[in-house]
Structure 1
Amino acid sequence: MKLTSKNFLVINGLIFSVITVTLAILYIFMPVYYEEVRVDQVKEAVDKVQQNLDGQDKEEVLKRLTTLDNQDLPFSLYLFEGETVVYPYVDRNNTNSDQPLNDFEITVSSPPVEGEIRSLRQKIVTKDGQEITLEAQYSLQPISDASRVLLAIYPVILVIALVIGTIVAYIYSRSSTKRIKLLSKTSRQMLSLKEGLSCQLEGKDEIAELSRDITSMYQQLRQTVVRLEVEIEKTALSERSKEEFLRITSHELKTPITSMMGIVDGMLLGVGDFKNRDYYLKECRRILEEQSQLVQDILTISKIDMADFLDTKYWETYAMTRFLEEQLPTYQLLAKMKGYEFDYALSEVTVEANRIYLEKALKNIIDNAFQYTRPEGKIRIQLTEKHLVVENQAQTLLSDSDLSKVFEPFYRPDYSRNRKDGGTGLGLYIVQKILSRHKFNYRLENTDDGWVRFTLDW
């Protein structure tokens, strides 16, 4: 059964039951309560009459009774002297003479008349010491009529109560479940995880609080789903990058290995120029050295992928200035050997980083500058509080296409296709992975005056 039907039946039944029980209680207990109130009222009035008559002579008592009877009393007064009615002057055939007379005695007249007649007696002592009896008779006829009327209209009242209860229960059940239905409808829509759904119901009751909780939970779920989608996309991109990297790596390894196998076969067979074994053995060693460097770079990339840069246990306050100062003698000597003009300006700078990998990235950046500087060209290194800038006068400026691809694995510009000049093609790829993991900003660009500039921000 739905909540609307349950509310309707419960409220309707509750109203019907309350009215039924109320009528039953009135029918049962109203006569009893009315009788108690009536008796107390008569007792109080008779007590006042007794006080007014007590201690007076007989003639005064009769005179005062006549005066009192002319007032609107809730009972009728009778005066007995022994068993004789003294006031009013009528015979009393229905008195119970055999009963003892107490200070207050309630008796029922016999035979009964329509309605219930009750009496209350009290002794009065006159001025000369004579005892006379004052009797007050009162009727319960009104309450008896009321009970009969209540019983007669009982079915009508029940029908009216049923009609009223049905109307009230219908209105309440519809209004009380309206917000719940809206909440349920919105919750079903939220299953689609569409953006912008909300269910903010007005009010301060539990349903309004539930709607706010559901909306908050949905928003958090949406954010979690978005983050998961981003992470899934990153994972997919990473997997595609790894596949592409493995494909290119296998190609990079296959070509020199095939070349070296051809050289070795030629030397073994003594074919043509391959008879000059000393020369080709040196060539084989050169190829092996290149492959060794390539393998070392691949291992470095693998370690970078495995290293958890986000874990603070790998991070430290790193004095970048000290590292560069330690490398300056080597670069000054290299610049002197190659005829380069080498300038630098270093400020005191510390950063939070993984020292080992950041040093590797910095060395690759500076080594690249020395490798691709034109003869007698200039190289500058500038370190400030928020930037590291490495500039060199390049032999050949990179095209826009080269600048966009230079950080890809195994990418070498056309002018450096030769491994002897271009290296393994993994140097800047390693730099890109390290700096990205540190969330540092970096860029490589040409300047208007013929320089190539690498800028690192943190």
Structure 2
Amino acid sequence: YIYSRFVTRPIRQMAAVTTTMQRLEKDAHYPVNSSDEIGVLGRNINELYQNLWQTIRSLEHENKRITQLEKEKIAFLRAASHELKTPLAALRIMLENMQLNIGEYKNRDQYLAESVAQVDRLAAMVNDVLRSGSVAEQALRQEKRLRIDKLIAEVVDDYTLLAKTRNMAFTVNTEPTTIRANRDMMRHVISNLVSNAVRHGDAGSVIKITCNQHELAIENACKPLTKQQLQHVFDPFYRADTQAKQSPNNSGIGLYIVKILLDAKGLEYEFAPHGQGMRFIVKL
């Protein structure tokens, strides 16, 4: 009788613990007080339950991330619809006035050229929208070990000619830096950041790029954005007044795409005034 109670007591205790585990109570735990078969079984149950909770937490996190992405997609589509509506309406008015030979629109050669330019801007905007969707979908696929410092060198080489047209130069200070990521995704991020630095930096200034195993930083000299502008800088199609004047054909979704891609990858980032300019930091 005593031996029977000695054997059945831990089994009854284990049954009670597994019942609480069925209810997914976080603190459920079987106290292991021996190294015999029952003790080994208890440890295995505890490890299994911990793995189950880790999986649940991962699924909850992924579900929140997907929900947020869906909300951002809806907001993006609404913003895209609004952004396309205005130039389409202007184009229609221009063409109708040309058709009716109204006032200055009788000069068809001039306004046909403006209409073609408007169509080109709309086409570029649509391409940006389509490209942003495809890149975001591929962001976490085909990941492999990637040398960020070499990717930076490629992107800087692409923008050197554009920088020279504004009498700008690059100073690049990088260390061999390897992360696991999708190459197209990271190139898209770096290219957008370097493009912004060139297009919105002061003419004749120097763009500073540093990279090590901890972070990537891109800094340019320009008029720092205000707190209010920084609150909207990652919104789709947002352009600060100075940016709109400098790059009127810019679609305004570059930093939005950067945000989507970095969020999908789970990389932290910061965009803030620094000295007499702005600095974008990506935590690696």
Tell whether the 8 Å contact from 2:160 to 2:169 is kept in structure 1 after alignment.
no
Displacement after TM superposition at 1:418 (Å)? 6.6
Alignment of 1:454 onto 2:280? yes
- C-alpha offsets along residues 353-403 of structure 1, whole Å, 9 cap, x if unaligned? 5444433333322221232234x5523223354454433332x42122322
Displacement after TM superposition at 1:287 (Å)? 1.8
Tell whether the 8 Å contact from 2:136 to 2:261 is kept in structure 1 after alignment.
no
Of the three residues 72, 80, 85, the one matched with 1:254 is: 85
Of the three residues 253, 256, 274, the one matched with 1:426 is: 253
Displacement after TM superposition at 1:422 (Å)? 6.9
Tell whether the 8 Å contact from 1:343 to 1:380 is kept in structure 2 after alignment.
yes
Equivalent residue letter for 1:371: R
CA distance in 1, matches of 2:176, 2:8: 66
Distance 1:213 1:409, change over 3 A: same
Residue 54 of structure 2 aligns with which residue? 223
CA distance in 1, matches of 2:45, 2:248: 63
CA distance in 1, matches of 2:207, 2:192: 15
Distance 1:181 1:436, change over 3 A: same
CA distance in 2, matches of 1:175, 1:329: 79
Trace 1:11-410 onto structure 2 (pairs within 5 A).
169=1, 173-307=4-138, 309-312=140-143, 316-317=146-147, 319-320=150-151, 322-324=153-155, 326-327=157-158, 329-336=160-167, 341-347=168-174, 349=176, 351-352=178-179, 353-374=181-202, 376=203, 378-386=205-213, 388-394=216-222, 396-410=223-237
CA distance in 1, matches of 2:138, 2:198: 29
CA distance in 1, matches of 2:155, 2:85: 37
Could you say what secondary structure the match of 1:197 adopts? coil
Distance 1:300 1:328, change over 3 A: closer
Displacement after TM superposition at 1:289 (Å)? 1.6
Equivalent residue letter for 1:399: T
CA distance in 2, matches of 1:266, 1:179: 90
Under a length normalisation based on structure 1, what TM-score does the superposition of the two structures give?
0.54
Matched length: 281
The percent identity for this pair of structures is 28
CA distance in 2, matches of 1:203, 1:347: 55
Tell whether the 8 Å contact from 1:320 to 1:350 is kept in structure 2 after alignment.
no
Displacement after TM superposition at 1:324 (Å)? 4.8
CA distance in 1, matches of 2:192, 2:61: 31
Displacement after TM superposition at 1:174 (Å)? 4.8
- C-alpha offsets along residues 59-82 of structure 1, whole Å, 9 cap, x if unaligned? xxxxxxxxxxxxxxxxxxxxxxxx
Which stretch of the first structure deviates more once superposed, 288-297 or 276-285? 276-285
Q: State the 4+ residue runs in structure 1 displaced beyond 6 angstroms.
A: none
Tell whether the 8 Å contact from 1:321 to 1:349 is kept in structure 2 after alignment.
no
Residue 124 of structure 1 aligns with which residue? none
Tell whether the 8 Å contact from 1:320 to 1:349 is kept in structure 2 after alignment.
no
Distance 1:236 1:433, change over 3 A: closer
Could you say what secondary structure the match of 1:421 adopts? coil
Distance 1:325 1:287, change over 3 A: closer
Displacement after TM superposition at 1:285 (Å)? 1.8
State the structure with more CA Rg. 1
Residue 413 of structure 1 aligns with which residue? 240
Distance 1:335 1:415, change over 3 A: closer
Distance 1:273 1:334, change over 3 A: same
Which stretch of the first structure deviates more once superposed, 205-214 or 351-360? 351-360
Residue 443 of structure 1 aligns with which residue? 270
Under a length normalisation based on structure 2, what TM-score does the superposition of the two structures give?
0.83
Tell whether the 8 Å contact from 1:373 to 1:392 is kept in structure 2 after alignment.
yes
Equivalent residue letter for 1:282: A
Equivalent residue letter for 1:454: F
